[in-house]
Amino acid sequence: MDLTGQAIIVSGSSSGIGEEVARRFAALGAGIVVNSASSVEAGERIAGELPDAVYVRGDVGDPATAAALIGAAEGRWGRLDGVVNNAGVTCEVPLTDIAAVTAEHWDKILRTNVVGTFLLSQAALPLLREAPDGWITNITSLAGVRQTGSSLPYAVSKAALDHLTTIMAKHAGGGVRVNAVAPGLVATPWTEDWDAMKEGVTAIAPLHRVATAADIAEAVVALVGIRYATGQTLVVDGGLGLVI
């Protein structure tokens, strides 16, 4: 895949899955808008290491961030070809502990994971419709299709993203493709201390390991390359969903 001259926004790309996705697309020739809500030093470092990139700080749950990200792409390259909605948050509340879930948990998680994804996608559509092959890829989760995950609000937010993916695919217009990649457990800085969960997944998943950020980035790039697919969620979980 040759993406020379194209421009891609990757939200939440200062570490983990987002960083790996940004690096993969940059290696294919694309210009990248790197983004994070708080990890400014890491975001600026990654943007500086890529051949052609710009860093924009902003929380995707803030409507102003979508405008800033789109403006950065248009100002730098005069176009936008793709968006990877990777930014996300969670809270670590066991699914069984329904009583511990608060309104603040819901507000924070839905604002970032669902509303933020929508706002960036909404703002990007006008430019994506002008691109020869515009696309949006949402990073959802196995938690959106199985009764698992780091918390109930997180799981529900990812299920909502899967549905948002299908609705936007149907109505985006302009030939814009909208798909999603749903990882299982991934070894990233976010899950650095989840040793027991990693051991459990390794023991029961058919592929007997947790995913790496590179595994998920590979899936994102591959799905973008399937140019007659839209409205699809590709589960990349090592088969974990088959046994839970």
Mark residue 131 as left, alpha or beta (left: phi above 0; alpha: psi -120 to 50; beta: remaining).
beta
SS3 165: helix
Structure tokens at 188: 């990233």
76-96: burial string, b at 16+ Cβ within 10 Å, e else: ebebbbbbbbbbbbbbebeee
Identify the pLDDT of residue 190. 82
The catalytic residue positions are 154
pLDDT, tens digit, 9 for 90 and up, residues 131-170 = 999 999 999 999 999 999 999 999 999 999 999 999 999 9
Phi/psi of residue 171, nearest 5 degrees: -120, 5
Please tell me the CATH code under which domain 7-242 is placed.
3.40.50.720
Splitting the chain (244 residues) into consecutive groups of 10 residues, what average pLDDT does each group show? 97 98 98 97 98 98 98 98 98 95 98 98 98 98 95 97 98 98 94 91 97 98 98 98 95
Q: What φ, ψ does residue 243 adopt, rounded to 5°?
A: -120, 0
* Cα R_g (the chain), whole angstroms: 17
Residue 82 Cα distances to 72, 87, 168, angstroms? 13, 15, 14
Question: Which residue has 């990007």 as its token pair?
Answer: 124
